[in-house]
Structure 1
Amino acid sequence: MMKKIYTIAFALLLIHSYTHAQDKTIKWSGYTWKVKEPAEATGPGPNYWSGNNVWVDGSGWLHLKVSKNATTGHWECAEVASTESFGMGTYQWQIDADVDKFDKNLVLGLFDYSGTDARDEIDIEFARWGNSSYPNLNYTVYPKLGDPPRHTSFSTEFTSPNGTYTTHKFTRTADKITFKTLYGHVNDEPRDNLFISKEFKSPSVSISSVSMPVLLNLWLFKGQAPTDDKPFEVVIHSFKFSAQ
């Protein structure tokens, strides 16, 4: 009987190891990233997700795409999550996309997240949440685990009259989070490039103290198709983290 139990346990271990080994990963911006591709629809959205909608090109740039699967008829989205966790410091993404011309159902997320819903999460999101009259640039801070479940958000209308290159970042410290959006691809913060800077301060805003993975995703609000029924792609040139 014990031998049978060990045999079953070993078989289950092999299945788990095989499944884990099949998880798709990519190398980008000096880090390893897990690609989201569950068999069924899942959040956010919920949506379907495809590893075919995530790739790194010959220039080392990450592509995220939303597209319709001709076989299933499902719209499929894209998400990657870092295998490494990050704590206090500056998180920076350099984007090449018409983020100010997104369809009202499209969402681009740049964030860190512990995996606990509505806790320990810091977001930069380009989204109109299904309503074309809503502002498209959103900064959100979710409270640390154990605090009341009240998140803090700020939204404004972003326009990019000088091209598709933009830089987005937040600096996370123990007592505040400072978001910044800039025109062009810049590593410093020249005044002429700054679109907006927004600060969230503790104790009025609950700020997480845990290290978390970084995620990037391109998805559809409530799983609703783009209103023009066309695929859409975003290129992210780089992600950079500078420890505090």
Structure 2
Amino acid sequence: MKRIYVIVFTLLLSALVENANAQGKTIKWSGYTWHVKEPAEATGPGPNYWSGNNVWVDGSGWLHLKVSKNATTGRWECAEVASTVSFGMGTYQWQIDADVDKFDKNLVLGLFDYSGTDARDEIDIEFARWGNSEYPNLNYTVYPKVGGPPKHTSYSTEFTSPNGTYTTHKFIRTANSVTFKTLYGHVNDEPRDNLFMSKEFKSPAVSISNVAMPVLINLWLFKGLAPTDDKPFEVIIHSFKFTAQ
């Protein structure tokens, strides 16, 4: 009987270890726990290679995401984190420190929530030129809920930041609308002088998801293409804040 207990205990312990390994690396940041993306093979978006070494929190409590070339493999590696909890209706806000208006044409910064179903139940703020330096760099996108129309709705414009690298980005989810806002500086309110852009997507013209979803933040390369200057790039995110509706 004792031998059976030992075998059962060993199997349970093995299962727990396997499960922990499957969960992978996590970090604590901005009051939440985040999974760090680091699969062995190239995966989307991109596809790209992803490294946990390109994600860290500094002594000030700020999140760093980096795109860099691995000196050993010669591969470019990207960075992504995903919250362990899901969020519903309310205000999602990120405060960024980076030259987001000077990104390489192949670099993408995503601030979004995502259900895990491609082309469904996703709301994005993305800084990207999608490989073309003539494309506008600020993109707002709402993907339809499951059962909604086949295509997403998006809006793009050219963002410039003449007053430094501090910017604030947010979207407000309600049952019938998503309103995106981009502001200069790190602000929690919305002073008129700081507001660069506000754009509302409204139902029924736009299919709005009502699903609670994790928040993801990623820095990656469009189609896995290296930066045109062949240099690493880093983004610092001071905070993420969610305020329930």
Runs of 4+ in 1 over 4 A off after TM superposition: 13-16
Q: Alpha-carbon deviation of 1:20?
A: 3.0
Which amino acid letter does the alignment assign opposite residue 189 of structure 1? Answer: E
Q: Distance in 2 between matches of 1:135 and 1:15?
A: 51
2:58 is matched with: 57
Which amino acid letter does the alignment assign opposite residue 204 of structure 2? Answer: P
1:188 is matched with: 189
**CA deviation string 1:97-152 (max 9, x = no partner):** 00000000000000000000000000000000000000000000000011122100
Q: Distance in 2 between matches of 1:149 and 1:14?
A: 45
Provide structure 1 residue ranges, at least 5 long, that are not aligned to the other structure: 1-6
Aligned-partner SS, 1:19: helix
Which amino acid letter does the alignment assign opposite residue 167 of structure 2? Answer: T
Aligned-partner SS, 2:17: helix
**1:17 maps to 2:16:** yes
Aligned-partner SS, 1:64: strand
Q: 1:188 to 1:156 in 2, by over 3 A?
A: same
Which amino acid letter does the alignment assign opposite residue 18 of structure 1? Answer: V
Structure-to-structure mapping, 1:35-114, within 5 angstroms: 35-114=36-115
Q: Distance in 2 between matches of 1:67 and 1:50?
A: 9
Q: Alpha-carbon deviation of 1:14?
A: 5.2
Which amino acid letter does the alignment assign opposite residue 34 of structure 2? Answer: W
Q: Distance in 2 between matches of 1:163 and 1:156?
A: 19
Q: 1:15 to 1:149 in 2, by over 3 A?
A: farther
TM-score by length of 2: 0.94
Identity of aligned residues (%): 86
Which amino acid letter does the alignment assign opposite residue 16 of structure 2? Answer: S
Structure-to-structure mapping, 1:215-230, within 5 angstroms: 215-230=216-231
**1:118 maps to 2:119:** yes
TM-score by length of 1: 0.94
Q: Alpha-carbon deviation of 1:17?
A: 2.9
Which amino acid letter does the alignment assign opposite residue 67 of structure 1? Answer: S
Q: Distance in 2 between matches of 1:17 and 1:142?
A: 36
**CA deviation string 1:189-225 (max 9, x = no partner):** 0000000000000001000001000000000000000
Aligned-partner SS, 1:91: strand
Aligned-partner SS, 2:74: coil
1:208 is matched with: 209
Aligned-partner SS, 1:93: strand
**CA deviation string 1:58-82 (max 9, x = no partner):** 0000000000001111100000000
Q: Distance in 2 between matches of 1:47 and 1:99?
A: 20
Q: Distance in 1 between matches of 2:175 and 2:151?
A: 18
2:242 is matched with: 241
Q: Alpha-carbon deviation of 1:182?
A: 0.1
Aligned-partner SS, 2:218: strand
Structure-to-structure mapping, 1:148-159, within 5 angstroms: 148-159=149-160
Provide structure 2 residue ranges, at least 5 long, that are not aligned to the other structure: 1-6
Q: Distance in 2 between matches of 1:230 and 1:94?
A: 24
- What is the aligned residue count? 237
CA RMSD of aligned residues (A): 1.5
Q: Distance in 1 between matches of 2:180 and 2:14?
A: 43
Which amino acid letter does the alignment assign opposite residue 109 of structure 2? Answer: L
**1:163 maps to 2:164:** yes
Which amino acid letter does the alignment assign opposite residue 52 of structure 1? Answer: N
Q: Distance in 2 between matches of 1:17 and 1:37?
A: 20
